[in-house]
Amino acid sequence: MWGRLRVIVHRPLEGTLKFARIVLRPSGWYLQCVCETPPHPLLKKENAVGLDMGIRYLVADSHGHLIDNPKHARKTAKRLAHAQRTLARGKKGSHRRKKAKKKVARIHEHIANQRKDTLHKASRYYVDGYQAIVIEDLHVSNMVRNHCLAFAIADASWGMFRQYLEAKAESAGRQVIAVRPHYTSQKCSSCGEYVEKSLSVRTHVCPFCGYIADRDENAARNILQRGLQVLARTGPSSSRREGPEPSGESPSALKREAAGL
């Protein structure tokens, strides 16, 4: 069946239109268009940054810049729980239950859209500003098995942030280097000595060299140093990954500090 549809175009199409489809979301009907666009390489920069993913802050970088974690799911938890209780009390097949079901779906969609918007903006900030971006090679699927951290890690969406970062970097001609996350918060980024600290300690104070920094910034500086070592060995590329993890070390256990408990 052919015909015309009136749509609200929120932004002009870029590139060559490959195909389009109409989809139904909890908030209404949408026209999805897939376009093929050429790469848009940015001017090459001679700088690099290390990123430490966390829950207290979504991202802490090696230059001291912190991006707050909005915690979209946690902020909406009460409203979602109320809608879910209304849905559970509704009689199957009733108008009230159908209405409650749509409301629950719309809340989930709203959370997902907020999360994507935050991650797109954060990833764009680093791709636009740095030639080489060093991140931790986190095994998120293993980390969410920890029931104490699963909700917070899922809400932060570290895996989605990495996907957005790598996709934007490839198009812009940037480099993303993934390094092992082991002991990045315990090692002093100034002198290299290990300074053991509990999860509640948020400031890194080195008794060996006197270096003082935010715990997450210190970790990001260590991440950057590991990434620069990888670059020195392998040379530039759109994406790099550090070698295998040392045997006997659990990345999920060592990265519990990211939760900022």
Between 144 and 41, the higher pLDDT residue: 41
- Please state, in angstroms and as integers, the Cα–Cα distance from residue 28 to each residue in 9, 34, 86, 109, 248, following that order: 15, 19, 22, 11, 50
For residues 64 and 218, the answer to whether their CB atoms sit within 8 Å is: no
Q: Any idea where the domains of the chain sit in the sequence?
A: 47-259
Q: Using the structure block, give the residue that is written with the tokens 């959370």.
A: 111
Q: Using the structure block, give the residue that is written with the tokens 């932060």.
A: 156
- Is the predicted pLDDT of residue 247 greater than 90, yes or no? no
- Is the predicted pLDDT of residue 82 greater than 70, yes or no? yes
- Kind and range of the H or E run holding 136: strand 132-136
Residue 252, pLDDT score: 41
- Kind and range of the H or E run holding 158: helix 158-172
- Is the predicted pLDDT of residue 1 greater than 70, yes or no? no
**Which two three-digit tokens encode residue 14?**
């870029």
Residues annotated as part of the active site: 52, 136, 216
The pLDDT mean for the chain works out to 87
Q: How far apart are CA 81 and CA 73, in angstroms?
A: 11
Q: How far apart are CA 62 and CA 219, in angstroms?
A: 8
Q: How far apart are CA 182 and CA 180, in angstroms?
A: 6
Mean pLDDT, range 163-171, rounded to an integer:
94
- Is the predicted pLDDT of residue 250 greater than 80, yes or no? no
